[in-house]
């Protein structure tokens, strides 16, 4: 009997020794902390992909995504889902402040979700141009949330309520409201696993208190890319870049506005290429558009180069946006800025001496028939002549006596060779109109 008791005690000690050892072996030894903040865009997905690849190369056992994002682009979130699902390492989302919209989608793609006090999760309705998307777009987005929830062992109906305000769940979410959860409520409903005060508490909860920590790094190029592809920044870059080129097109010569426009558009397309949102074809189409517009400036009077260039640029914009709605939104912003700003800039710059210094103009000599100096400009009012270049609206006119002067129209385009008359002086410019023939 004593031998049996001794054997039983020995087995208990062995069992107690083996179990902790097994848990010690399973406890994460290496943990990578990846920060996911600000808007969700494709610059973020490339950053995540690079750091997750580094985690796999370094034998990391656990990845913690620290989330603080109001959401962003759906296509970027879907690309991040692909990255997370292709990674075999366990992933835990730590919601530090907010994981809304696309941020909630990313959190749902993780194996476990932890939330800090005061944080929120949910509110993932798809918006297009600030308005609720129709069922064509909303339906697949809603079902995708449900499918992810099922895969991760969470309630798919609650996941749908994140997306669709028409879903009513008694005692949880009413009609016309989107589901947004606080930490305690999320744990009660099974949409989150725990509430923690800090990262250190989460590591202890995961059994990784003694693990070696690695931290994600964002390169300078990734920071620039994330800024450029931000949903609020990208259309502004595009609009201002095109506005600079259009205004340069309206003024004679290629000056600082052309350089600024090309640089801004290069940032737009370059950033989108680095983020994987644009292909080489989009860039080549954009460059072809620029070349055609430059040809129109250098060889005025045809118009076909300008039309072809604008068509190429518009086509390249469509190739850098995820859908037709976004592309149309960008084009609408461009047109709005052009319509509002072009008359204002023309009025302001026509009276600015700085504008004359910024623009690159040909050297005008008396031997070529030009008259330097502006004191005599008033003497030309009422004089008639012929447009020596196409006036778009600025250009050169040759008066009846052979004198060539720089002029600007009141906004209309006048083709080369048409008869014109100087009607007034506006700042440093002489304003001309088409000469009307008497009937």
| Nearest-10 crossing angle of helices 42-57, 74-85 | 10
pLDDT surpassing 60 at residue 356: no
pLDDT surpassing 60 at residue 433: yes
Q: Which two tokens stand for residue 408?
A: 């600007």
The arithmetic mean of pLDDT across residues 165-183, rounded, is 93
- pLDDT for residue 372: 43
The arithmetic mean of pLDDT across residues 31-50, rounded, is 88
161: which residues sit within 8 A by CB, 6+ positions away? Answer: 122, 167, 169, 172, 173, 178, 179
Identify the top-confidence range among 190-194, 357-361, 427-431: 190-194
pLDDT surpassing 70 at residue 116: yes
The arithmetic mean of pLDDT across residues 376-390, rounded, is 84
Banded pLDDT at 16 (limits 50, 70, 90): very low
Q: Which residue has the higher pLDDT, 9 or 321?
A: 321
Whole-number Å distance between alpha carbons of 85 and 75: 15
pLDDT surpassing 80 at residue 427: no
Q: Candidates 2.60.40.180, 3.90.226.10, 3.30.230.10, 3.40.50.300; correct CATH number of 23-219?
A: 3.90.226.10
The arithmetic mean of pLDDT across residues 366-378, rounded, is 51
**CB neighbours of residue 250 within 10 Å:** 19
The conformation of residue 110, written as its DSSP 8-state character, comes to S
Q: Which residue has the higher pLDDT, 411 or 179?
A: 179
Strands 384-387 and 419-426: antiparallel
CB of 428 closer than 8 Å to CB of 405 = no
pLDDT surpassing 50 at residue 47: yes
Q: Is the pTM of this model over 0.75?
A: no
Domain assignments of the chain as residue spans, ordered by start? 23-219, 233-357, 363-434
Strands 419-426 and 62-69: unpaired
Report the share of the chain in percent with pLDDT over 90.
35
The arithmetic mean of pLDDT across residues 44-55, rounded, is 90
pLDDT surpassing 70 at residue 17: no
- pLDDT for residue 303: 65
pLDDT surpassing 50 at residue 148: yes
Per-residue pLDDT of 251-278, as tens digits, reads 554 567 778 887 888 788 777 776 666 6
The arithmetic mean of pLDDT across residues 43-60, rounded, is 90
- pLDDT for residue 438: 54
- pLDDT for residue 299: 65
- pLDDT for residue 277: 62
Q: Give start and end residues of each alpha helix (H) in 362-429.
A: none
Per-residue pLDDT of 209-239, as tens digits, reads 889 999 987 777 677 777 777 777 888 888 8
- pLDDT for residue 360: 44
**CB neighbours of residue 33 within 10 Å:** 17
pLDDT surpassing 50 at residue 35: yes
pLDDT surpassing 60 at residue 20: no
- pLDDT for residue 27: 67
> Strand runs (DSSP E) across 362-428, as ranges?
384-387, 394-399, 404-409, 419-426
Whole-number Å distance between alpha carbons of 65 and 93: 5
The superfamily in CATH containing domain 363-434 is: Nucleic acid-binding proteins (2.40.50.140)
- Report the chain's mean pLDDT, rounded to a whole number: 80
Banded pLDDT at 370 (limits 50, 70, 90): very low
- pLDDT for residue 366: 46
Banded pLDDT at 369 (limits 50, 70, 90): very low
The conformation of residue 120, written as its DSSP 8-state character, comes to E
Asked whether the domain spanning 363-434 has the same topology as the one spanning 23-219, the reply is: no
- pLDDT for residue 309: 79
């Amino acid at each position: 009997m004593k031998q049996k008791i001794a054997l039983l005690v020995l087995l208990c000690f062995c069992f107690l020794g083996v179990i902790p050892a097994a848990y010690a072996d399973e406890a994460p030894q290496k943990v990578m902390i990846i920060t996911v903040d600000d808007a969700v865009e494709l610059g973020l997905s490339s950053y995540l992909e690079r750091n997750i690849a580094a985690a796999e190369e370094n034998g990391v056992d656990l990845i913690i995504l620290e989330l603080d994002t109001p959401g962003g682009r759906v296509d970027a979130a879907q690309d991040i889902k692909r990255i997370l699902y292709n990674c075999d390492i366990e992933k835990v989302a730590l919601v530090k402040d907010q994981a809304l919209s696309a941020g909630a989608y990313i959190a749902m793609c993780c194996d476990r979700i932890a939330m800090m006090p005061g944080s929120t999760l949910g509110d993932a309705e798809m918006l297009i141009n600030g308005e609720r998307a129709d069922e064509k777009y909303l339906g697949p987005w809603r079902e995708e949330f449900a499918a992810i929830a099922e895969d991760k062992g969470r309630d798919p109906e609650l996941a749908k309520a994140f997306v669709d305000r028409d879903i009513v769940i008694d005692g949880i979410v009413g009609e016309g409201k989107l589901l947004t959860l606080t930490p305690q409520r999320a744990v009660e409903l099974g949409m989150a696993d725990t509430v923690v005060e800090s990262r250190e508490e989460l590591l202890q909860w995961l059994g990784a208190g003694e693990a070696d920590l690695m931290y994600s790094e964002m390169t300078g190029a990734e920071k620039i890319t994330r800024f450029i592809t931000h949903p609020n920044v990208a259309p502004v870059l595009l609009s201002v870049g095109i506005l600079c080129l259009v205004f340069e097109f309206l003024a004679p010569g290629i000056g600082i506005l052309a350089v600024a426009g090309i640089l801004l558009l290069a940032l737009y397309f370059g950033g989108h290429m680095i983020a994987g949102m644009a292909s080489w074809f989009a860039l080549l189409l954009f460059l072809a558009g620029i070349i055609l517009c430059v040809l129109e400036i250098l060889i005025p009077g045809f118009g076909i180069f300008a039309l072809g260039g604008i068509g190429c640029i518009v086509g390249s914009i469509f190739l850098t946006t995820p859908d037709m709605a976004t592309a149309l939104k960008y084009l609408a912003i461009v047109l709005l800025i052009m319509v509002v700003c072009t008359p204002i800039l023309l009025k302001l710059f026509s009276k600015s001496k700085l504008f004359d210094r910024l623009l690159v103009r040909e050297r005008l000599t008396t031997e070529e028939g030009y008259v330097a100096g502006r004191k005599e400009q008033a003497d030309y009012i009422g004089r008639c002549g012929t447009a020596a270049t196409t006036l778009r609206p600025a250009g050169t006119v040759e008066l009846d006596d052979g004198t060539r002067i720089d002029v600007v129209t009141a906004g209309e385009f006048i083709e080369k060779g048409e008869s014109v008359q100087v009607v007034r002086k506006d700042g440093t410019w002489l304003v001309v109109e088409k000469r009307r023939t008497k009937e």
